[in-house]
Each structure stands twice: as C-alpha cells, then as structure tokens.
C-alpha cells in the first residue's frame, strides 16, 4: 500500500483546552495537555494528509507541517473550524469548556473582603455536534472523543448518536488510570458497526492506529 495514503486529503483536527475568560487575568478551563490531539495530527501528516490544526492553549507544541490556528475560547474555536471547512475528515480531540462567563469584561474583578463575585455561565456551542449534524458539505468522517469516568461505553455510544459523529474514541479518565496528562492511552473505538477496544499503548501509537483507520475509510472508494 502507498506510504502516503492520505495525500490530497484535508483533515481538520481540534486539540487542547479552551480558556474562557472570567476577566482579563482569570479563566475557566478543562484539563487537557493537547498530547493526544497533537499526536493524531502528526500521524495524519505522516500519512500524507494536509492537516489544519485548531488548538487552544495546550502544553505541548503543535505538530510541524500542519496549518496551525491558535485560539483561546470555544467561540473562537468554532469560528476557526468553520473557516477551515471543507475537510475530508474532522477529528475533535479538543477538551472544549462547556460554559463561558457571560459578560466577562475588560477590567479585573477586584477582590473585596466578604464579597464573593457571582459568575453567570452560558452554554458554549458544541462544535462537534454542529459539524456532525451538517446537512451540506459535511466531512466524510467525523470523529469525536469521549473522556468518561463511569460507564464509558454506554455514555460514549449515546454521545456518538447525539453528536452525529461517525466514530467516538472513548477513554477512561479516572485519575488512577494516569491517562490524563500522561503518555499512554487506552481507547475504545465506537462506530456504527460496534466497539473495538485497543490495548493500552502510547498516545503516539493510539494516534497511528486511528490515522491508519481514517486512511482506510477515506481511500475506500478509490480505484
């Protein structure tokens, strides 16, 4: 088989956390190093894809060779994703904050003894669900992630349908697994035709396995 089966294909990858400002110096965020998303982008590049890499403020450096779009908030990530489409496949590895602070302003909230500020949160757009449910110009393959602590497969299977994703890559992020922030991952791939649990391995190897499967789907119709 060709060494660069994804040559000529455009794949969009989101990665990292988003930061939602409370004021100019404070923010709300999810825990995410960006390691798995970065590894996936690198694996797709290695198979010859053109990769647009939309990343929040991650700990790891973005992959060399990708078209890198740096964002901070979920709203910015959504705009960057929309601007990057069309794509043949889209992989949503980012840990997007579920809420942003309504009315976050340009001045720092002053600390006043005895006065606790009340934050009013509003829901963020679900970027994966928006792309998953596109009726025109939808990527051929839409892949989401599900980081769960309980009933991993049940929740991830429901998430696949709710978000309109073709695949959900589910993982168990209970602290005792050491997966969050660590070098290894153990994932279950949930597709229309069932579930497949891959052995625990490095995030690099998980990325390579996913990229190979993505290439299989995207090259299926080729002569």
List residues near ligand C5P by CB under 6 A.
Answer: 14, 74, 92, 94, 96, 124-128, 144-146, 159
Asked about 124 being catalytic, the answer comes back as no
The two structure tokens encoding residue 188: 């279950």
CB of 93 to ligand C5P, least distance (A): 6
Q: Which residue matches tokens 């455009």?
A: 10
Q: 98 a known binding residue?
A: yes
DSSP state of 202: E
Q: 126 a known binding residue?
A: yes
- Report whether 127 contacts 84 (CB < 8 A): no
Q: 53 a known binding residue?
A: no
- Give the CA angle between residues 212, 61, 50 to the nearest 5°: 40
- Report whether 10 contacts 66 (CB < 8 A): no
CB of 120 to ligand C5P, least distance (A): 18
CB of 18 to ligand C5P, least distance (A): 8
The two structure tokens encoding residue 80: 């960057």
Residues designated as active site = 30
From the annotation, which residues make up the binding site? 98, 108, 125-128, 145, 159, 163
Question: Can you say which residues are annotated as belonging to the binding site for CTP?
Answer: 98, 108, 125-128, 145, 159, 163
């Amino acid at each position: 088989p060709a060494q660069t089966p994804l040559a000529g294909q455009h794949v969009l990858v989101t990665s990292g956390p988003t930061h939602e400002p409370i004021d100019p110096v404070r923010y709300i965020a999810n825990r995410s190093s960006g390691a798995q998303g970065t590894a996936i982008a690198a694996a797709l590049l290695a198979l010859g894809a053109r990769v647009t890499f939309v990343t929040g403020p991650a700990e790891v450096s973005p992959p060399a060779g990708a078209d890198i779009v740096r964002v901070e908030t979920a709203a910015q990530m959504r705009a960057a994703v929309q601007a990057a489409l069309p794509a043949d496949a889209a992989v949503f590895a980012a840990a997007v904050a579920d809420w942003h602070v309504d009315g976050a302003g340009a001045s720092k909230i002053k600390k006043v003894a005895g006065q606790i500020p009340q934050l009013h949160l509003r829901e963020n757009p679900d970027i994966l669900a928006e792309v998953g449910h596109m009726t025109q110009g939808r990527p051929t393959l839409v892949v989401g992630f599900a980081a769960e602590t309980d009933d991993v497969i049940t929740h991830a299977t429901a998430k696949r349908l709710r978000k309109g994703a073709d695949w959900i890559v589910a993982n168990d992020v209970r602290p005792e697994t050491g997966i969050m922030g660590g070098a290894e991952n153990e994932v279950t791939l949930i597709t229309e035709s069932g579930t497949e649990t891959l052995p625990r391995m490095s995030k690099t190897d998980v990325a390579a396995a996913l990229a190979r499967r993505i290439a299989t789907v995207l090259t299926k119709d080729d002569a």
